[in-house]
């Protein structure tokens, strides 16, 4: 992604390898439009959606700056199908609609087009996303890479190939095992047999939630729980992980690490940003763009 936008960018979406097919895909979608009654005609949701992806692609850090960029660059207006640049309040209302209603529709359509029907093995993990130290909505948390950080945490469930099935964005202080049940419940629509997680998900509540959805949840024994483990799971799993099949199975978890690396290389983490809703809009677009690339 491009972090700084200036007049030297002679950008044209017709030749862009990602935005051009993505914008054509948006045109093919069936999105509910607000019926015109009185006043000025509403701006097309498809055009506003293109603007949000444009914002994500160029890492524009606020809707106010997005408006200024659209006003300055006519090529962006034409690419997004805008006759004139909407008011900031229009973008704010559209962002709320996208977070609450638009993303689920778009996400489900992409997964349908990818023919994600029977993902037998699903991977679960989280990654820390740093934010501005001035972000009052972010929280301090612990990360393997950053140690102490202020920001958020992106929890994902992906297929072994790297397609994102579900997500939850929380503050950085949320425990992985506490968020896992919410992710697992969202997987009920698929015929999933196994979910693989790391030792942070070693929780009886997580396994029970998975079992209620007909899923076998497997995670290594957490060292903090190892002295207390006298149940069958605690006795059998360490032996299973030493088998050739167990090693191969848990080797698949490298797939979700690649997903996080790709998302971060594409700019999902914005350490200088602040505001949960601002971050969540950016993350949602990054997830859709990541999955959409599997269609190219």
pLDDT in tens, 97-144: 999 999 999 999 999 999 987 788 999 999 999 999 999 999 999 888
pLDDT in tens, 186-229: 888 888 999 999 999 998 899 999 998 889 999 988 877 656 56
pLDDT in tens, 162-185: 999 999 999 999 999 999 999 999
Give the distance from CA 23 to its chain's centroid. Answer: 19
pLDDT in tens, 228-270: 566 777 778 888 888 999 999 999 999 999 999 999 999 999 9
pLDDT given for residue 10 in this prediction: 47
pLDDT in tens, 9-55: 445 555 577 899 999 999 998 877 765 555 567 889 999 999 999 99
What's this model's pTM, rounded to 2 decimal places? 0.91
Rounded CA-CA distance 238/229 in Å is: 11
90 or 117, higher pLDDT: 90
What percentage of the chain reaches a pLDDT higher than 70? 91
């Amino acid at each position: 992604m491009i972090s700084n936008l200036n007049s030297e960018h002679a950008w044209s979406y017709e030749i862009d390898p990602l935005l051009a097919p993505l914008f054509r895909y948006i045109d093919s979608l069936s999105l509910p439009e607000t019926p015109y009654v009185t006043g000025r005609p509403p701006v097309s949701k498809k055009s506003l959606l293109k603007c949000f992806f444009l914002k994500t692609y160029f890492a524009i850090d606020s809707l106010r700056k997005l408006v200024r960029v659209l006003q300055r660059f006519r090529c962006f207006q034409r690419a997004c199908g805008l006759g004139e640049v909407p008011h900031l309040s229009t973008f704010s209302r559209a962002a709320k609609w996208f977070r609450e209603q638009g993303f689920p529709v778009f996400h489900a359509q992409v997964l349908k087009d990818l023919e994600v029907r029977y993902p037998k093995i699903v991977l679960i993990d989280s990654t820390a996303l740093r934010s501005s130290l001035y972000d009052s909505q972010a929280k301090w948390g612990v990360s393997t890479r950053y140690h102490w950080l202020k920001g958020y945490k992106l929890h994902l469930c992906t297929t072994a190939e790297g397609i994102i099935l579900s997500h939850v964005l929380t503050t950085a202080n949320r425990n992985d095992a506490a968020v896992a049940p919410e992710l697992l419940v969202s997987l009920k629509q698929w015929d999933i047999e196994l979910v693989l997680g790391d030792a942070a998900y070693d929780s009886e509540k997580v396994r029970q939630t998975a079992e209620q959805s007909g899923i076998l949840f497997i995670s290594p024994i957490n060292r903090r729980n190892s002295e207390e483990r006298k149940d069958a799971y605690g006795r059998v799993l360490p032996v299973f992980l030493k088998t050739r099949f167990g090693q191969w199975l848990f080797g698949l978890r490298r797939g979700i690490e690649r997903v996080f690396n790709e998302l971060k290389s594409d700019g999902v983490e914005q350490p200088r940003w602040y505001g949960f809703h601002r971050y969540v809009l950016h993350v949602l677009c990054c997830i859709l763009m990541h999955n959409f690339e599997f269609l190219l």
